Chain A
Amino acid sequence: MAIIVSARNLAKRYGDLEVVRGLNFDVVGGECFGFLGPNGAGKTTTIRMIQCLSEPSGGLLEVFGMDVRKYPRKIKARIGVAPQDDLLDVDLKVRENLTIYARYFGIPDIEANRRADESLEFLQLKEKSGEKVDKLSGGMRRRLLIARAMINQPQLLIFDEPTTGLDPQARHLIWAKVRDFKERGVTIILTTHYMEEASQLCDRIAIMDRGVFIAEGRPADLVQEYVGQEVVEIRTNHIDTNAIVERLHGCDYITETYADTMYIFFREGCGVMPKLVEMGLSNYIHRLATLEDVFLKLTGRELKE
């Protein structure tokens, strides 16, 4: 498999502030790679370096085998980006947003028009072609950003928080489109705050915190490795948590308490559930462990801002 993005000791400093501190990773052709992490973890900075919008302060970063410092224009020509901020051109109408953007890539008019129509069709925006951008809903704007990102037929698509602030319908439609791109063999890099989104779309994820990777791997593997299979959440308001800990003595589990909830992570068949049932607890939730548990466990439950 071709290596699309390769980072070695990648670093970014703004003055004394180290935002990215020595990342090593490869993104392989055709996969969807997710960057997860709390705000300020360095995800967007890393993505901006891949886009050649920000120069690395240290280390090596290659995209399509080319150094980002030396070949920014060649790299940009092959990347499509749906940015986090709504960066549509509000002076232009919906379809013009695509045709004009195509020209920035040097795509001739006839081809630009053809691709614009194709993208509008694909993102279900055809009937909005002549509208002004500010007449669109949030979900439509996000779809238009994606339509614009595909106009140069990129081999690498970057989605920076593609569904933040969208309703569930809009979110599911965007997920379906991202999977479509993957089917076509496009390599995808994604950042998100939504663990469900990462589980749904990403083949591999990296969890970032304070500028470094604190975990990397397939979503299911990370869940297994860090939090086991199952979780019980117990509201602690009227319960003596020490009694629970005593009762579970001898079982293989991890526990964590945050705010009004105690989390007990364990593997199936380790005897936790029968003991809890014996205790006659009523106010608890028993569920499968998710990536969100991994994320919170690794990055800490305290607020980041």
Chain B
Amino acid sequence: MSLGFLTIWRRNYVVWLTYWRSSLVGNLLDPLFMLLGMGLGLGESIKEIGGMSYIQFISPGIIASAGMYAATFECTFSTYTRMAPQKTFESILMTPMTLTDIVGGEILWGATKGMESAAAILLVMVALPMRLTPSWWGLMVIPVSLLIGLMFASMAMVYTSYAPAYDFFSYYFTLALTPQFLLSGIFFPIEGMPRWVQWVSEFMPLKHAVNLTRSLVMGHIRPQLMLDMAWVVGIAALAYFVAARRMRRRIVH
């Protein structure tokens, strides 16, 4: 197996080094406002869910959804920019790098951005005085959010392989991400919803990501997590192979 994807990852990392400071403020403040606004505001009316305060309940879900958005954004808009208008891939393909290296590197980079967001939120949660990180298992959220990132980055890459223009991506955000954001048990427990909603929710990648982050943050380690993990890894692998295949068809001719 070629390690060329690490070279592509590194190209994106070098670019990131020039802008990470300016994006850090947003990475930290967005989740802070979200947590305080939703957690404390709604928390006034909703006292407790499953033994957790409301802000405790939503904060792990916010980690997972922020990872989803960051990885997706990177592998849709940013990858598309490098692929189409900037023709960065075209010049990389003049070297011994292969398209598989590029797709792999882009997905790993998207996942890295997802992990960066998750880590930033975790940092905010540690800093807030509301016992948002009661367990050391919470540290595992960082490597797990890389896997979650791989899943969403690969899925986004499949979509990007079909994209004719930027407009195309708004459908993905609206139709694929927003329902997941609402129905993955981030803001209210799915267990209380009608049967069919619970059923639909089981097929949402973000639902399994939220299960993982919430259990890890709260230190509720149980066997069912292996199933969630299998979903995440399975979807990531499947989407990666489809994306690599589709991209090859799109770019090499």
Contacts and interface: CB of A to CB of B under 8 A. Distances in A.
A89 B88 contact: yes
A225 interface: no
Interface string B206-245: 0000000000000000000000000000000000000000
A259 B3 CA distance: 59
Interface stretch (B22-30, B39-47, B92-100, B121-129): B92-100
B82 to A, nearest CB: 8
A104 B86 contact: no
Given A83-B91, A91-B86, A76 B96 contact: yes
A101 B93 contact: no
Contacts of B93: 53
Given A54-B253, A96-B14, A104 B97 contact: yes
B10 interface: yes
A234 to B, nearest CB: 47
B90 to A, nearest CB: 6
Contacts of B131: none
Counting chain A CB atoms within 10 Å of each CB, which of B87, B96, B252 scores highest? Answer: B96
Contacts of A85: 87, 90
B191 to A, nearest CB: 46
A90 B96 CA distance: 21
A51 B94 contact: yes
Contacts of A77: 95-96
A96 B15 CA distance: 10
Interface string B92-124: 111111100000000000000000000000000
Nearest to B7: A103
Counting chain A CB atoms within 10 Å of each CB, which of B87, B98, B252 scores highest? Answer: B87
A277 B87 CA distance: 57
B11 A100 contact: yes
A92 interface: yes
Nearest to B2: A73
A174 B95 CA distance: 23
Nearest to B10: A103
Interface in A72-126: 73-74, 76-77, 79, 81, 83, 85, 87-92, 96, 100-101, 103-106
B96 A81 contact: no
Contacts of B10: 100, 103
A74 B98 CA distance: 12
Given A90-B86, A104-B7, A83 B94 contact: yes
7 contacts: A77-B95, A77-B96, A81-B94, A83-B94, A91-B88, A104-B96, A152-B95
Closest 7 CB pairs of A and B: A104-B95, A87-B91, A73-B96, A91-B15, A104-B97, A77-B96, A81-B94
Interface of B: 4, 7, 10-11, 14-15, 82, 86-88, 90-98, 252-253
Given A53-B252, A87-B88, A89-B11, 10 more contacts: A76-B95, A87-B90, A87-B91, A89-B91, A96-B14, A100-B11, A100-B14, A103-B10, A104-B4, A105-B96
